[in-house]
Structure 1
């Protein structure tokens, strides 16, 4: 049974997670992490390929039965720069580096799924590819793996991943289509005759004119994503149909020009093409019309977009195996965060899940990239058993 096997290896997975947490490695430096994952997979008898890109690893597990699908599971590897407070006894030993996003948990879950499936390989059809991806925090690793021939070596027909976040521990949440808002970094170039104070005032005007929220909602207050009345699991969530921006533009002078830079977050893809013309129009109607040089996006990362059919099938499998409350439907889009898993989804239909790691009774809040980020490690158990079951059914199903 998947649940009993998960229980058997749980303590081992917690130990691995804590070791990775205490020894974090930044994007591009995941050498020790790679070796731990490699040795773990080899001990399971899983074929390992470390030649695709940098410190990436691909584990290949072939089922013992004929037929079946080819499916990939992705886990990200890197840590964050930072020295946020961390209350755990296994805190980072590396100054200025910490697992403040939960990738150590993702790795433990990925290895757990690999072990559960490896023990059942003779009962499985198809092939599972375990993609351990470096450099997610810099939004480079997935694209680099693809550019270096990942999908010429493996050929999955579907791909899955997860991210631990500040939902109740063990709660799985997912939706078809966009999981995050579209993030853009915008730059306005003006003649340097515009003073810094004038540029700041113009930025505030653009901010107030361009921003869009529902009924005075505050979707920038991301700490409310798990709130029962306004959070992502409520159909009336505040985290849908918005365009929000960083509160203030970064204003500076360079090359005898005045620059205004900021990030913005839009939930509606069809509106993205209207943003630059709208900003241009605001400036043209201001007293700075003759000072405008250019408006452009200087960063346009793709966002995670879940395949509709696969998402509905995954929800059905999880509910069948673990009950209706095991997985909740997401009704919004998270601002600020994103994931380069989006690049894999451009090549292969896929589903990306949120997994709750918070526990209010224990004072644990799994708000990523925030001070005192912590995770209730029970979510490792939920992640391993839930997604092992999902992959098994997808491999062996019709």
Structure 2
């Protein structure tokens, strides 16, 4: 893993250093041209800069005091007090340690929700930050501390610009994302029926260059499924290994020479997410070897698989059944099933196009990078919200390769350039204002 991170650092630094500088210069020119004509977005920039250092300190406090899914009690209290100090109405009790902040604009209009996740990870990876976790075995190794700081920053910037707001913004701080439980339980407890937002937005910091916003209509991640083959006991380990190899080979579809499981390649301009010919599209593969175990005189084979094409998912189980039967184990086969099949994040096409248009009009044509792929391994329970109301989920770059900062989630030495907070607050405050002001 360490070698993987060093490899990412080396090639990404050379790929992005010159490109990043040119992009910033061009974006800055377009920015001044567009923003100077719009006082509300000038104010957004000024207020973002004023609150930035406070948000950095807040993020570091979250980072030092992480809480696992279902235990976000101190985190809830800090978020609640911050929102109350801004003058927002605050609700708790919808589910777990969730917090909902309600900001009403000076004018009536539609309702928009912004979601930030709260929980940390159970790991003890090396952390390069000075402000390390004070809780043994628990870390903010996925960037939710950054997400909360951005959510609170947007709330503060918008609260200082109420006069421009036509409608209401709901800031949903959601617990238990890492267990893929929090969003679903909030919905089961009727959150959306109580606040009735028209649309919802959220983001995730990722390993792309700091400040780069990336988005696409439709799926942001591959469809992740956990498949289980249940057999009568009696096959030797050698037979089980041979069967799983046949299944893995059958469930394997990638473009020639590509390796979409090498997640570090998402930042490579030649094959990564921003290239129309990215390797991160049109693939199917299993996550390593199948695990095998026995229970009650039965054998079980299990593996995660990643498929980019929704129409192919229903074909997988019949295909695996056929492989088992054709291998001579028809009488031993008891069942083939998906035992875990979480929904994937699917962005609303109309809202995504609107968001891109708004951000590019305000902050220049390089404000948003096109995403042409689907990321394997990761997912987000934000998908449950999108099943109920139109929504858009963004990637926000957090890596600074020149400084050796690599925001590869769930990895050792995970680190985020905190300038991403400034970009997130500024850009998405402007986006929410514009979306509120459109019918």
Is 2:60 the partner of 1:18?
yes
Which of the two has greater helix per residue?
2
Deviation at 1:123, TM superposition (A): 2.3
Task: Say which of 327, 331, 351 aligns to 1:310.
Answer: 351
Which of residues 69, 79, 82 is equivalent to 1:27?
69
Q: Which residue of 1 aligns with 2:30?
A: none
**Which of 169, 175, 192 is equivalent to 1:151?**
192
The gaps in structure 2 that reach 5 residues or longer are 1-42
Check the 8 A contact 2:64/2:134 in 1, yes or no. Answer: yes
TM-fit CA distance, 1:289? 2.7
Cα deviation, 1:178-233, whole Å, max 9, x if unaligned, reads: 00000100000111101222212211111012211011211000011010000000
Q: Determine the structure 1 residue equivalent to 2:310.
A: 269
Distance of 2:182 and 2:351 partners within structure 1: 24
> What is the alpha-carbon distance in structure 1 between the residues aligned to residue 230 and residue 238 of structure 2?
15
Q: List aligned pairs for 1:241-260, cutoff 5 A.
A: 241-260=282-301
Deviation at 1:85, TM superposition (A): 0.5
Q: Distance in 1 between matches of 2:241 and 2:382?
A: 35
Moved over 2 A (4+): 287-290
For 1:365 and 1:123, locate their aligned partners in 2 and report how far apart those are by CA, in whole Å: 37
1:231 aligns with 2:272: yes
- Cα offset for 1:397? 2.2
Which structure 2 residues correspond to residues 1-398 of structure 1 after superposition, within 5 A? 1-66=43-108, 68-398=109-439
Aligned pair count?
A: 397
Alpha-carbon separation, structure 2, partners of 1:178 and 1:345:
11
Distance in 1, matches of 2:300 and 2:93, equals: 42
Alpha carbon RMSD of aligned pairs, Å?
Answer: 0.7
Kindly state the Cα deviation for residue 381 of structure 1 after the two structures are TM-superposed: 0.2
**Deviation for aligned residue 1:51:** 1.6
In 2: Cα distance, 1:341 partner to 1:125 partner: 25
3-state secondary structure, aligned to 2:111: strand
- Given that 1:105 and 1:164 are in contact with CA atoms closer than 8 Å, whether structure 2 keeps it comes out as yes
TM-score normalised by structure 2 residue count: 0.90
Distance 1:395 1:132 in 2: 20
2 CA distance for matches of 1:235 and 1:193?
48
- What per-residue deviation string (whole Å, max 9, x for no partner) do you get for residues 238-274 of structure 1? 0000111112000111110111000001000000110
After superposition, the C-alpha distances for 1:340-365 in whole angstroms (9 at most, x for unaligned) are: 00000011100000000001100011
Q: Structure 1-normalised TM-score?
A: 0.99
SS across alignment from 1:97: coil
